[in-house]
Amino acid sequence: APAGQEVRKGLAGVVVDTTAVSEVVPETNSLTYRGYPVQELATSCRTEEVAHLLWHGELPDAAALAALQEAERAQRALEPAVRAALEALPPSCHPMDVLRTAVSVLGARDPRAERHDPDAELAKALSLFARLPAVLAWDVRRRRGQDPVEPDPALGYAENLLHMCFGEVPDAGSVRAFETSLVLYAEHSFNASTFAARVVTSTLADLHSAVTAAVGALKGPLHGGANEAVMHAMLEIGEPERAGAWLRAELAAGRRVMGFGHRVYRNGDSRVPTMEAAFREVAAARGGQRWVGIYEELARVMLEEKGIHPNLDFPAGPTYHLLGFDTAAFTPLFALSRVAGWTAHVVEQRRSNALIRPLSSYVGPPQRSVPAR
Ligand code: SDX
């Protein structure tokens, strides 16, 4: 690298571009999507409304919402050709691999795949947003040995997703808690998976290739995979009384405790209070006090020992568990929601593109010649 330039590993603290999609303000612990505080969106908006806001920059009026819902509901079915491709994957494969494969197959089959105009991009974004819930539900039920449930065009996005996974729509409180998680997971500026999507878009590759890369990035436990790890830990801990000892042992072994810490938020993740409130409501309604006890004890000890706060994955994990999801579905649920954010960034990157290609500082062997043969 040019002399004197310091290496910023992990691009920590480096501003690489502007964005109008969302703003994360660590100082005030706030997150806004197109200017709206996420706490307000999460408790009063539908998933479809927030998707529209991310894609188009405005909350939809009644007509725009109706048009989006009509187009989304018309594309929910899992096409036989896509299902056939997924059937080829062993049931033991990672659920994020199912999602990643589905995005690739949907891209390969989409006649608009290589069209990069905003209308085509937004139509493809909506198509992925509409089609991936049936993929997740198909995988969730296959792992349980259950037949798929057909999508129901009479149901909203969140209710339909729950109905396809469980064969029924739960009570309104459970639906609201689930919808809160989907809104909170939808977007978060230049997180690793979104940045992966922007890197792929910056080469002028297509939207589906960008989302495939994003799914790959989100799978990792330092990112989206953390919500699954949170639940594995809670199940291992079992009782609130054992949480402190478990945590101290993890820290003593130098292991990271998933669900805690964040690259940008240094005094707590702005989304946690809203997700935690939803978690507590679901726990109260479904007899999940044990998980609340473990949650509170882990948060208390982590703050005491490391001064580190929970991130969104921490309350989201046990909420999904109490709603009846298998742990394997947790990160795919995060991905389904984040499709709206990823694709909003793909459109933005393409609008004012510059190839993303950083520098590196060479530390390998000095120049040398191949020995004479
Ligand atoms: C998401 O970026 C986003 O916006 C992501 C996300 C989104 O919406 O897209 O918010 C979603 O990915 C949330 C984060 C989910 N990941 C986890 O829960 C995994 C556990 N978290 C950590 O690994 C960590 O907090 C990161 C990776 C998220 C961020 O870490 P940084 O900023 O790279 O900081 P670091 O790894 O250098 O840690 C600083 C110190 C270290 O101690 P030292 O080695 O300097 O002594 O804090 C420690 C770390 O060991 N630390 C932890 C810890 N997180 C940080 N120690 C134990 N457990 C943890 N969870």
Interface predicted TM-score of the whole assembly (ipTM), two decimals: 0.95
Distance, CA of 140 to CA of 224 (rounded, Å): 18
Helix (H, G, I), strand (E, B) or coil at 43: helix
- Reply yes or no on whether the pLDDT at 5 is more than 90: no
Q: Which of 9, 198, 263 to mutate to test the pocket of ligand 1 (most atoms within 8 A of CB)?
A: 263
Closest of 126, 335, 104, 108 to residue 217, by C-alpha: 335
- Reply yes or no on whether the pLDDT at 2 is more than 80: no
Residue 102 has a CB neighbour count (10 Å cut-off) of 27
**Ligand 1 centroid, distance to 347 Cα (angstroms):** 28
Q: Which residues line ligand 1 (CB under 6 A)?
A: 10, 188, 191, 222-223, 226, 256-264, 306, 308, 311-313
Distance, CA of 57 to CA of 118 (rounded, Å): 13
Q: How does strand 22-25 pair with strand 36-37?
A: unpaired
Q: Which of 311, 331, 345 to mutate to test the pocket of ligand 1 (most atoms within 8 A of CB)?
A: 311
Q: For residue 310, what is the DSSP state?
A: B
Residue 18 has a CB neighbour count (10 Å cut-off) of 7
DSSP string for 184-205 = HHS--SS-HHHHHHHHHHHTT-
pLDDT (tens digit per residue) in 25-52: 988 889 999 999 999 999 999 999 999 9
Q: For residue 167, what is the DSSP state?
A: S
Out of 52, 313, 321, 345, pick the active-site residue. 313
Helix (H, G, I), strand (E, B) or coil at 331: helix
**Ligand 1 centroid, distance to 310 Cα (angstroms):** 10
The pLDDT of 253-280, averaged and rounded, is: 95
Annotated catalytic residue 313: yes
pLDDT (tens digit per residue) in 117-146: 999 999 999 999 999 999 999 999 999 999
Read off the pLDDT band of 206 (50, 70, 90): very high
Out of 52, 116, 262, 309, pick the active-site residue. 262
Distance, CA of 263 to CA of 258 (rounded, Å): 13
